[in-house]
Amino acid sequence: MRKPFPRFEDGMSDDGYVELQVASNFSFLRGASHPDELVSEAVRLGHRAVALTDHNSLAGVVRAHQAAREHHCRFVPGCRLGLEDRPSLLLYPIDRAAYGRLCRLLTRGKRRAEKGDCRLTYADLREHGEGQIVVALPPERCDAGFRAFLDELARDFGDRAYLGAQHLYRGDDAKRLQRLSRLSEQSGLPMVALNDVRYHRPERRRLLDVMTAIREHCTVATAGLKLLANAERHLKTPTEMARLFRRYPEAIRRTGEIAARCRFSLDELRYEYPDESSDGLTPQQRLERLVAAGVRERYPEGVPDKVAALLRHELTLVAELNYAPYFLTVHDIVTFARSRGILCQGRGSAANSAVCYCLGITAVDPARLDLLFERFISAERNEPPDIDVDFEHERREEVIQHVYAKYGRERAGLAATVICYRARGAMREVGKALGLSADVVQRLAETVWGWSEEPIDDRRARELGFDPEDRTLRLALELAGELIGFPRHLSQHVGGFVITRGRLDELVPIENAAMPERTVIEWDKDDLDAMGLLKIDVLGLGMLTCIRRAFALIERHHGRRLDLATVPAEDAAVYDMLCNADSVGVFQVESRAQMSMLPRLKPRSFYDLVIEVAIVRPGPIQGDMVHPYLRRRDGKEPVEYPSEALREVLGKTLGVPLFQEQAMRIAMVAAGFSGAEADRLRRAMATFRRTGQIGNFRDKFIGGMIANGYPKDFAERCFQQIQGFGEYGFPESHAASFALLVYVSAWIKCHYPAAFAAALLNSQPMGFYAPAQIVRDARAHGVEVRAVDVNRSDWDATLEPVEGAAPALRLGLRQVRGLGEEPAQKLVQHRASGYRSPIELMLRAGLGKPVLVRLAEADALRSLGLDRRRALWAVKGLSDDALPLFEGLPPAARQRPEAEVRLPEMRLGEHVASDYAFLDLPLKSHPMALLRRRFAREGVVRAADLAHLDPESLVDVAGLVLVRQRPGSANGVIFATLEDETGVANIIVWPDAFERFRAELMGATLLLCRGRLQREGIVIHVIAERLWDLSNRLGELRDPEGTRPPYAPTELSVRSRDFH
């Protein structure tokens, strides 16, 4: 006899019904509502508790839990478990321990399966079954096997086993329920009412049908019986459920009973930092010792008072909040990296603390910088400190594996990133599911530039020549709009580690990542924040690799040893260079937008760089804060503060909010938000689908500021800025860390341009510019650049000493397109005193013919006395089987004797084209230089001439198209960059001109632009009025006789960076 269980406390409605079988869109493509939609709708329908049972997953529980907390509703976490050898069932942990077992169970299933899959057997379930309530889900036909399964459950789970029953409007529901009721009596498992919820409202049926079609790779029209026959899988009111189960009131009552038995709440999860105590010291003591040692190292001449005071303050705060273990963990990781010679740099609110500087986590000297806001650790918010650490991109994996090795896979895992449907993908999938032709789908999807979250609207559709009244098209647009923001799959966070003291796999399930040797938890960073779980970001940064390489070259060739902290500070020459927008290759400030900002901002100090990094971002631009700031800086506008309270917040930025922290502080100081509210605001901005909530925040924010006496337009701009920050908000704390790398890379470029260029080339692909521009820039700075050669080059670019001058840059074999590192290294290894003929390369270095062909085409055999064409002829003539008969003879004798053939001399134009084709850069000349005579005749000016021409004059300028960009914030304006032999010209194409010259702009490799010259200081633009595609002139360059087919885009392959 089963004991009666207490009814669910907390004033349940009379029916006592709780939805126990609910799949959200985290049951990928099986549920058509967000977890929070399900919870809030359940509350609206009068439910006092609701469960979530996604397929083999707990990925959605945190969101549901948060929503439930907001709506004062009880939440029962669970999951639907698929077993390989038994029917599926629902599982609910009754307490914390059982929850841990469920996590471990799922972890086991996921770790042994491919990514995204879960393989479990009944034996696994039984092993982890303690404290789990199970509800068997009846299959289509309840046969003897199912009967036996129920007996098994009764035996193994006793009174924690139930039999689920659903009313699905399939015609035979009455009979089915009766059969199940009989089965329930026979097996002793009480029957419990379920509703198999897949969406919160019936309207979502269409979306679920579409998702089913996507899942089954068919169209909705052909999916047929794979779709559900009706729209009944929505949440129902307790009354309606009671009516459907009117003959089985006990089944309804038991739902409440199960909810009541599951006492576990996610609030019980407690995060504990890994235990970092050792040698009998408490973590705090250990931290203080390490900091003291660090102080001696950082400040050998004695610590400045300001820093000493900061340290005392910070350490007290750390002790108070018990954060010492966290700092120790980061310190350990950083120490590990340093022991391997891996360059790293911390960032984030806590990273720029004096403590972190002394621990070596950051190289930003707090003495050099007015320490940022008191936001280092916010005591009242009890939010974990935020430190991200950037490591050299190429060696980050070593750090990651160190973390796994030190803490074990049960205690460390990467956070997940929920990959959601974006407009483009949603449009594509929905269009396909609705049977639109591939062409139409492609066209619809293409209308979304970049990663927009905005659904495609009717106006847009009409612009594209679609009839928005067309029903299928309208459905596609509508449903794609609904699908946007749905999770698509879980991916790994770029480097966010969760490390715990106890077992991580009892906190959240862990699964395999797509990358080998990586394991990922099921929750993303928002979930972790919500649960108060600590994350350490172990990120990769290409620029650190580059800086390390440059340091190594400088040490070797100039005998000067440097690291991030010892690069001389505040060097005027470096700032002069930056003020001239001479920043190709410099971290963060090399983009075109940054380059045009530099001369306007005129950075003269480290803090100016911090602002420079943060100002060219969507937040300040959309909030229209950039120009006011520049005007005030130039003294064209008085610096004033909207209020005394804001003087403190905005003092450092001349009264204009530029940083994310400032925007949040304004919400608190001026609009009266609490800290938690401000944080919620920031989060809401990051998540577009809660657009409904943004309206509320907006009213509260602007209303609050007006009530506090601020002008309305200022309030509105502040709000717009917060909106612009969204997910890409740039906090001052990050900007400060980046600014250091800006400074260091600029310093290297300024003083050691050859080393800088070599390091950049050796770190490709990275940054904004291709090798061609890096080399051009190096030459412009007086660096002698030497060609790739089989007898001189290493794999990497190197420096070659020059008597009485700065070293020259020797390009590396890595520049040869399509040449692998392995043959290149073999070539270098076997070089000895040098190669004298192609056959030696083949025999001594063991290089195959295709490799030799690449080298020949790259013109790397010059030191053998062979130019490109003759080298190619010679190499092609080598026989693959290298005449083994003559082994032992000198290589020259092992060649087949051949009659001399005279090949036509290679023209300079052909060489230039081949340089592009096989080295990606022009070495012997620039194509524009070869074409200049004709262009000059036609009145086309050089890029360098633009600086001397009258503003507003009409100019013709031509060049290779390097970049085409259409920034989301620029209203359809396109920015293109043209390169000629003297430099680059920046072109702006307004949308109407774009429409007329679309083909020219998008198709040209060599573009001629006629337009108005605009000049502001040293920033020059040409506003395009007409464009011509002159790419065929490049073809003529190579082949003046015209024996080749009309110019094909692949021919002279200048690779441009395009926006589509």
Binding site for other proteins (CB under 8 A): 140-141, 169-172, 174-175, 205-206, 209, 220-225, 227, 229-232, 434, 438-439, 442-443, 446, 471-472, 475, 857, 869, 872-873, 876-877, 879, 896, 898-899, 901, 903-906, 910, 914, 998-999, 1002-1003, 1029, 1039, 1041, 1043-1046, 1048-1050, 1060
Structural contact between residues 238 and 227, judged by C-beta atoms closer than 8 angstroms:
no
Which lies closer to other proteins via its Cβ, residue 434 or residue 562?
A: 434
Question: Which secondary structure element, helix H or strand E, spans residue 496, and what is its range?
Answer: strand 487-499
Name the minimum Å distance from CB 471 to other proteins. Answer: 7
Which lies closer to other proteins via its Cβ, residue 233 or residue 298?
A: 233
Which lies closer to other proteins via its Cβ, residue 206 or residue 501?
A: 206
Say which DSSP state 838 is in: H
| Main-chain dihedrals φ then ψ at residue 68, nearest 5 degrees | -65, -40
Q: Which residues pair with 263 in a beta bridge?
A: none
> In whole angstroms, what is the distance from residue 192 CA to residue 887 CA?
85
Which lies closer to other proteins via its Cβ, residue 15 or residue 314?
A: 15
Structural contact between residues 50 and 68, judged by C-beta atoms closer than 8 angstroms:
yes
State the DSSP string of 601-637. H---SHHHHHHHHHHSSHHHHHTT-HHHHHHHHTTSS
* Residue 940: both structure tokens together: 């086309």
Pairing of strands 344-347, 519-524: unpaired
> In whole angstroms, what is the distance from residue 743 CA to residue 572 CA?
11
Residue whose structure tokens are 């909810």: 259
Tell me if the bond preceding 283 is cis, omega within 30° of 0. no
Phi-psi region of 920 (alpha: psi -120 to 50; beta: other; left: phi over 0): left
C-alpha distances in Å from residue 566, one per residue of 57, 325, 365, 372, 740:
49, 28, 10, 22, 11
Name the minimum Å distance from CB 286 to other proteins. Answer: 54
Which lies closer to other proteins via its Cβ, residue 59 or residue 430?
A: 430
Which lies closer to other proteins via its Cβ, residue 387 or residue 434?
A: 434
Any idea how long the chain is?
Answer: 1060
Which lies closer to other proteins via its Cβ, residue 6 or residue 848?
A: 848
Which lies closer to other proteins via its Cβ, residue 484 or residue 878?
A: 878
Residue 1008, helix vs strand vs coil: strand
Pairing of strands 89-93, 412-420: unpaired
Greatest extent of the chain over all pairs of C-alpha atoms, in Å: 104
> In whole angstroms, what is the distance from residue 441 CA to residue 462 CA?
15
> In whole angstroms, what is the distance from residue 918 CA to residue 859 CA?
9
Phi-psi region of 933 (alpha: psi -120 to 50; beta: other; left: phi over 0): alpha
Name the minimum Å distance from CB 904 to other proteins. Answer: 4
Which lies closer to other proteins via its Cβ, residue 154 or residue 228?
A: 228
Which lies closer to other proteins via its Cβ, residue 170 or residue 934?
A: 170
Say which DSSP state 1057 is in: B
Pairing of strands 191-194, 344-347: unpaired
Residue 1041 burial (CB < 10 Å; 0-12/13-18/19+)? exposed
Name the minimum Å distance from CB 1002 to other proteins. Answer: 4
State the DSSP string of 801-829. EETTEEEEEEPPGGGSTT--HHHHHHHHH
Which lies closer to other proteins via its Cβ, residue 319 or residue 843?
A: 843
CA 480 to chain centre: 23
Q: At what angle do helices 283-298 and 305-321 cross, to 10 degrees?
A: 160
> In whole angstroms, what is the distance from residue 363 CA to residue 351 CA?
10
CA 784 to chain centre: 37
Which lies closer to other proteins via its Cβ, residue 207 or residue 615?
A: 207
Q: Which residues pair with 805 in a beta bridge?
A: 802
Rounded to 5 degrees, what angle do the CA atoms 291, 292, 295 make? 85
Question: Which secondary structure element, helix H or strand E, spans residue 176, and what is its range?
Answer: helix 173-187
Contacts of 684 (CB under 8 A, 6+ apart): 690, 693, 694, 697
Name the minimum Å distance from CB 966 to other proteins. Answer: 11
Name the minimum Å distance from CB 818 to other proteins. Answer: 13
Structural contact between residues 740 and 574, judged by C-beta atoms closer than 8 angstroms:
no
Name the minimum Å distance from CB 223 to other proteins. Answer: 7
Say which DSSP state 551 is in: H
Contacts of 516 (CB under 8 A, 6+ apart): none
CA 67 to chain centre: 27
Which lies closer to other proteins via its Cβ, residue 865 or residue 1049?
A: 1049
Name the minimum Å distance from CB 207 to other proteins. Answer: 11
Name the minimum Å distance from CB 445 to other proteins. Answer: 10
Which lies closer to other proteins via its Cβ, residue 235 or residue 650?
A: 235
Which lies closer to other proteins via its Cβ, residue 405 or residue 514?
A: 514
Name the minimum Å distance from CB 998 to other proteins. Answer: 6
Residue 128, helix vs strand vs coil: coil
Which lies closer to other proteins via its Cβ, residue 112 or residue 998?
A: 998
Say which DSSP state 272 is in: -
Q: Which residues pair with 90 in a beta bridge?
A: 80, 135
Which lies closer to other proteins via its Cβ, residue 447 or residue 708?
A: 447
Which lies closer to other proteins via its Cβ, residue 173 or residue 784?
A: 173
